[in-house]
Structure formats: structure tokens, C-alpha cells
Structure 1
Amino acid sequence: MATTNIWQQFKSLIPEGARNVVTITSNNGDGTSSATLRDGTIIRVQGETVVPGNKALIEDRVVKVEVPGLAVYEAEI
């Protein structure tokens, strides 16, 4: 049965899990890679498909796809 709760309908549009764009710093040779988040935090992720130095989209600490290295801008409002 479909829900009439508008909040639940909205939440169903948002994918589950955390997504981040990271810079791959090294492939570890054991199926994992080291990656750097935008704030400088280094994490270990599953997957070695992206060459070190390139950007990758990760979802729940798993490399999904390589992404282009585009400029990032921040603006305070």
C-alpha cells in the first residue's frame, strides 16, 4: 500500500548511503585503495579501479566510478 505521508515519499527519492568524491592516493594491492576526502581525511575504500591521483565517486566506502577532476568553489551566503 502506498503511503500518504509526504515526508516518507520525499525520503524515498533520496538514495540511501553516503556518497563522496575523493582523490585516490594509492592502490594497496589487496583490493583496497587509500583515498583523501576534501577535508584532508585519509580513508581506506574497497576497489582498485581508479589510478592514484584521479578522482572517484565512492558510496559506503566502495569505489563506484572514476569522475573528472573539476574545480570546486565554495560560497558563503
Structure 2
Amino acid sequence: MATVNPWKKFIGLLPGGVRAVGTVTAVNTASGTSTVELRNGVPITARGIGVAVGGKAFVVDGQITGPAPELPQYDIEV
């Protein structure tokens, strides 16, 4: 049954999945995976080898989708 709730319709338009940005710390070409350190310091293993070691990468649902720009990060405490 289709919903008439505008909020539910809006949420349905948004892409799903987990997205993150991190720094590639190692690339394993044999398995096609890379180790990515997230901004909070947690290392994860992601599928894909498209970003060189030391570069920033976009990670979507455990897969590297491409390089991320080198932008400054600010932590603001409220």
C-alpha cells in the first residue's frame, strides 16, 4: 500500500546505506581490498583498490567508490 505521508515519501527518495570518508592505509591487490582508517581512528577493510595509500576515499556499504577531496575537518563542541 502506498503512503500519503509526505515525510515517508521524502525519506524514500534518499539513498540508503552507510557512507564514510577515510584515509587509505594499505592496499591488497591480491584480494582487491583496502584498509581504510575512518575519521574516528577505526580501521575497516573495504572492497576496492581505486585509491592510493595516503589518499582519502569515499566508502559506501563497505566498498570504495572513489577518491575524496582533502578538506579541513572541524570539531565543534556545543
User: Does TM, normalized by the shorter one, top 0.5?
Assistant: yes
Shift in Å, 1:76 = 2.4
Which residue number corresponds to residue 51 of structure 2?
Answer: 50
Which residue number corresponds to residue 15 of structure 2?
Answer: 15
What are structure 1's unaligned runs of at least 5 residues? none
Shift in Å, 1:28 = 1.1
Shift in Å, 1:3 = 3.0
TM-score normalised by the chain length of structure 1: 0.90
Moved over 6 A (4+): none
1: CA distance, partners of 2:42 / 2:52: 19
Amino acid at match of 2:7: W
1: CA distance, partners of 2:72 / 2:13: 28
2: CA distance, partners of 1:28 / 1:41: 18
1:52 counterpart SS class: coil
Over the aligned positions, Cα root-mean-square deviation in angstroms equals 1.4
Identity %: 40
